[in-house]
Every structure is written in C-alpha cells, then in structure tokens.
Amino acid sequence: MTLVAILSGAGISTDSGIPDYRGPQGLWRKDPEAEKLVTYDFYMADPEIRRRSWQMRRDSSAWNAEPNEAHRAVAALERSGTPVRVITQNVDGLHQSAGLPARKVLELHGTARKVICTRCHARSSMADALARVEDGDPDPPCTVCGGILKSATVMFGERLDPEVLAQAMAIAKASQVFIAVGTTLQVQPAASLAGIAVEHGARLIVVNAEPTPYDESAQEVVREPIGTALPALLERLAAEPGDG
C-alpha cells in the first residue's frame, strides 16, 4: 500500500487561530526581545526572561485552539486505511487532537503540551506547570530535582533530537507520496526531507500559499487555502487505484 508522508508547518494551524511565530514575518523574527523568550541561552541565563516566558505560555491563545478541516482530513485519511505518517514542525498537538494516533505523528520541534527539566530531563505536563504559575510561582522549578523547567519544544539555539530527525528521514525515504503542507521548506533540516523523499522516488506535492525552493521538484503545487485544498487533495489520493 502507498505510504503517504505529510510534512506539516505553521500554515496548517493558522485556521485554528495559531499565528506563525517562527516564519519570516513571525513575531520572533520581528521582535528580538520576544525572540529572547524562546532562545535557550537567554532563557537559561536570565530569571526575568524565564518569568516572561511563563507569562507568555500562560496567556497563549494556542490552549483554546481546535483542529481545523485540514487536521481532520489527515486523520480521516488514516482511518480510511491508507498508511499515513505525519512529520510536523508544529508544537501544538492538533494532529493528535484531530484523532491521528500519536505513534503516527513525529514532532520535529517537540511539544508545547509538556515541560522538561534542563537538569534531570524529567518530563511532565505543561498544564501542571502553568497551574503552579497561576498559583503564584513565576518560575516553577522541576519537582524532581529543582532544576530549570522549559517547554518540551526545540528553542532557538537547540539542536533537533537526532533520533527524531533520523526517524523523519526514514519516513521520507520510505514514502511513495510526500506532501509538504503549510511550510516554506526553507528551515533546515526539515526542508531537506522533501528532497530526500524525491531522491528516493516519492511523488512530491506542495500545498503552500507562497513559492518554496522545492516547487520545481514537485509533481503538483497547490496554492489554494489549506483548509479546503488539503481535504480535497487527500480525498483524491484515497480514491486513486492502489492507494487504499
């Protein structure tokens, strides 16, 4: 059966009300002070940066975000019996909220729904940490060792998890169809996955509002709004002979 790999970026979640923070026009790029809040060295060195980071997390609109039609369409494709793997640059957990099994979602940049201790690496719930902030602890330490807690996301200045990246590359190599959706395909190493897929014989489809460096390698480029274009594309793929 055809393995469909989907690389999703910020563009798939904007219809859910989550802004693109990391893109060229994103908040982190336009406001250096805001970028410090998600830069590892600043975060670790400055308690005031950490306090502001916790306030930002607490007030984030992402906690009220719901999966949109694009997320639901991916989950529906998986339920139809088509082998699907999602590699996401997003940290919002909306693919899983839409019903895609967590084991079929690879989170390249981690997850905002967990926190991790920078000393002992214990992981725990973001909701629990935010409850402690709400109760008056501006910079809640690790409950295991007292170390500094951070969101379980990849901050600026941190490397991607080599194991996660290796899994993503294996999925790209094994895929017969590789769909890049809502991503500029300009941030490495995630962007290189599209090229790896093509090199190994995959049919590349790009669904993005703006041109990407991989458009010329794609068999199909879709510029329509993701919320309607992706469901239509996935329905068509599911109906293709030999794909389901």
In the chain, the N- to C-terminal Cα span, in Å, equals 7
Residue 139: CB atoms within 10 Å = 16
Alpha-carbon span 216 to 196, nearest angstrom:
14
Residue in the block written with tokens 């010329």: 216
Helices H, strands E: what count in the chain? Answer: 10, 9
| Length reported for the chain | 244
- Provide φ and ψ at 141, rounded to 5°: -80, 170
CB burial of 72-110 (b: ≥16 within 10 Å; e: otherwise) equals: bbbbbbbeeebbbbbbbbbbbbbbbbbebeeebbbbbbb
109 is an active site residue: yes
Q: Any idea what DSSP says for residue 148?
A: B
Coarse DSSP helix, strand, coil percentages of the chain, rounded to the nearest 5 percent: 40, 20, 40
**One of 71, 95, 109, 200 is an active-site residue; which one?**
109
Active site residues: 109
